[in-house]
A and B are shown apart, each in its own frame.
Chain A
Amino acid sequence: MVPSGFVHQAQLDAEIKSAVGKLGPEVVHVAYHLGADSTGDPSIFFRVVLTDAAAREETLTETTGRIATTLFNEVRPIENWGLHPYFNFRSQAEQQRRKDPERA
């Protein structure tokens, strides 16, 4: 079975852009890619760059939980796309050290 996420990527991209627009100012950038997870299941991997203030330990899980919930509820990757979502977070300072173009 071909996951629907691989077939309608333009539509998926539009939905993700719409969802990203609903995130708060603590989000600097959101990138994503499609692929298989460690068990081979079709997945979507979100890579989120946070402001350094939002990445502070005292508020980190609240912030990341809110972002993941928004993306999850807006995109509905499991129900609508057959993709399991994974979320990866990095601070802006970490991004500047890494110079990873995917998250620029």
Chain B
Amino acid sequence: MAYHDDLLNQALHLVHVAPSTQASLRRSVSSAYYAVFHFLIAEATSNWNNVTLRAALGRAYDHDTMKRASNRLLNTRDFPFTGEDPQVVASLRFVALTFTQLQEHRQFADYNLTEDLDPTDALNQVRSAEKILHTWPSIRSYQIAQEYLVSLVVKHR
């Protein structure tokens, strides 16, 4: 099983622990984010022919660059995707938006103890991460999806 699948399973397990604790809920959100983080990197580096070097190439990705690339894609003026399949565009924007949500919620889950994390919010984050992994195969063959993967590693200048 791939590492990102393990992380997602861990997130699903933790978010269903009963009775829930702040520790189990927060770790579930963190695992869900990292499931998506490593999933997108695995998808991007799978284009590299030399299989043994894919993990090393994955080290080039960082959270901030991935977030900014995702934010840019959500800007419909900069990325109108004219002529593209609207369903593919909607799915790609869902991935980008959900990635940014997960990253911010991961920050809250790991570091911000000023208020409790709600079970509903944790469950929504975990299930949304799962939805990304289910959605991606339907769009991965499209050029705009592949361009998004490349943008995740390229610093915008």
| Subset of 21 A-B contacts with CB under 8 Å | A37-B104, A38-B103, A38-B104, A60-B120, A61-B124, A61-B131, A64-B124, A64-B128, A65-B94, A65-B131, A72-B74, A78-B71, A78-B75, A79-B76, A87-B101, A89-B118, A89-B124, A90-B120, A94-B119, A94-B120, A98-B118
Using a Cβ cutoff of 8 Å, how many contacts connect chains A and B? 57
Q: Are B123 and A79 in contact (CB under 8 A)?
A: no
Smallest distance from the beta carbon of B24 to chain A beta carbons, Å? 16
* Interface contacts beyond A37-B104, A79-B75, A94-B118: sample of 16 additional A-B pairs, CB < 8 Å, sorted by A: A38-B104, A38-B107, A57-B127, A61-B131, A65-B128, A79-B77, A86-B100, A86-B104, A88-B118, A89-B118, A89-B120, A89-B121, A90-B118, A91-B118, A94-B119, A98-B118
Chain A CB within 10 Å — which of B64, B75, B101, B107 has the most? B101
Chain B interface residues (CB < 8 Å from chain A): 64, 67, 71, 74-77, 94, 97, 100-101, 103-104, 107-108, 116, 118-121, 123-124, 127-128, 131
A84 contacts across to B, CB distance below 8 A: 71, 100
A29 contacts across to B, CB distance below 8 A: none
Determine which of B94, B101, B118, B124 lies in contact with A86 in the assembled complex, contact meaning CB atoms within 8 Å. B101
Q: Are B123 and A60 in contact (CB under 8 A)?
A: yes
Interface string of A20-45 (1 = CB under 8 A from B): 00000000000000000111010000
Smallest distance from the beta carbon of A82 to chain B beta carbons, Å? 10
Chain A interface residues (CB < 8 Å from chain B): 37-39, 41, 50, 55, 57, 60-61, 64-65, 68, 72, 76, 78-79, 84, 86-91, 94, 98
Q: Are A88 and B121 in contact (CB under 8 A)?
A: yes
B123 contacts across to A, CB distance below 8 A: 57, 60
B127 contacts across to A, CB distance below 8 A: 57, 60-61
Q: Residue of B at shortest CB range from A88?
A: B121
Q: Residue of A at shortest CB range from B64?
A: A39
